[in-house]
């Protein structure tokens, strides 16, 4: 579940590079294969040490997705990543983690093969960063659905001037934001900052924080060992 929207939310993110933020601390100028090696080393450590063969196969599929998609177009990457994570099962935080509100890391989501809307969006976001999609083109969006239920989706901007495409775990078709009249966009965020519904950007600040994001980033650091 998602905490109540407030226009005063501001991201208080760990100051890591775009690629180091999701999984590992590496030089931002490392080549594709270096990024892949660092990312997959952590994934393999997690599953080979602690998890069953089915989970191992799921991580291998994730590895193959990244490794074989590095040279694809951004739109191809978006489609592949959206389809891959939309195979997961939607499960509430209460049922999956016995918590009211919990934002899973991508590795936690892959281990469980389940999550709720923010877990889908987070896993897609970090995987696309690993595939060298610039973070400026990606935003995680807090939205309201037609029935006023809170929801989260990922948006991808083909260019900084164009309207975004929406990656959603409920409506799995990749559609333009302008075609998603069923969604009311409240605010969005990425590694750079937070945007209100009027597209006004707030600078990163220490005054307030999106606490679930901070907590998740700290768990990602722990996953690195």
Instruction: Give mean pLDDT, residues 137-156.
Output: 94
Name the token pair of 224. Answer: 């690195």
pLDDT of 182-210, one tens digit each?
Answer: 999 988 988 777 887 656 666 545 444 56
DSSP SS3 for 112 = helix
Q: Determine the Cα–Cα distance for residues 224 and 220; give it in Å rounded to an integer.
A: 7
**More confidently predicted of 95 and 47:** 95
Closest CA to 193 of 13, 4, 17: 13
**More confidently predicted of 33 and 217:** 217
Report the largest interatomic distance among the alpha carbons of the chain, rounded to a whole angstrom.
47
Domains and CATH numbers, the chain: 32-223 (3.10.620.30)
Q: Determine the Cα–Cα distance for residues 91 and 97; give it in Å rounded to an integer.
A: 9
DSSP SS3 for 89 = strand
Specify the DSSP class assigned to residue 148. -
Specify the DSSP class assigned to residue 7. T
pLDDT of 41-67, one tens digit each?
Answer: 666 666 666 778 898 889 889 988 998
Q: What is the pLDDT of residue 180?
A: 96
């Amino acid at each position: 579940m998602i905490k109540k929207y407030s226009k005063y939310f501001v991201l208080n993110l760990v100051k890591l590079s775009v690629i180091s933020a999701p999984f590992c601390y590496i030089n931002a100028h490392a080549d594709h294969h270096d990024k892949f090696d660092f990312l997959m080393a952590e994934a393999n450590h997690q599953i080979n040490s602690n998890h069953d063969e089915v989970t191992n196969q799921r991580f291998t599929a994730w590895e193959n997705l990244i490794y074989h998609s590095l040279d694809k177009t951004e739109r191809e990457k978006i489609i592949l990543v959206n389809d891959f994570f939309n195979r997961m099962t939607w499960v509430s935080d209460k049922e999956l983690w016995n918590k009211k509100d919990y934002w899973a890391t991508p590795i936690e989501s892959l281990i469980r093969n389940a999550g709720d809307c923010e877990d889908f969006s987070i896993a897609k976001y970090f995987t696309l960063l690993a595939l060298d999609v610039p973070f400026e083109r990606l935003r995680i969006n807090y939205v309201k659905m037609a029935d006023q239920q809170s929801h989260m989706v990922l948006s991808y901007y083909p260019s900084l001037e164009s309207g975004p495409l929406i990656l959603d775990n409920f409506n799995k078709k990749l559609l333009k934001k302008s075609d998603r009249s069923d969604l009311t966009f409240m605010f969005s965020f990425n590694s750079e900052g937070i945007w209100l519904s009027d597209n006004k950007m707030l600078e990163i600040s220490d005054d307030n924080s999106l606490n679930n994001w901070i907590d998740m980033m700290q768990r990602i650091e722990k996953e690195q060992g």
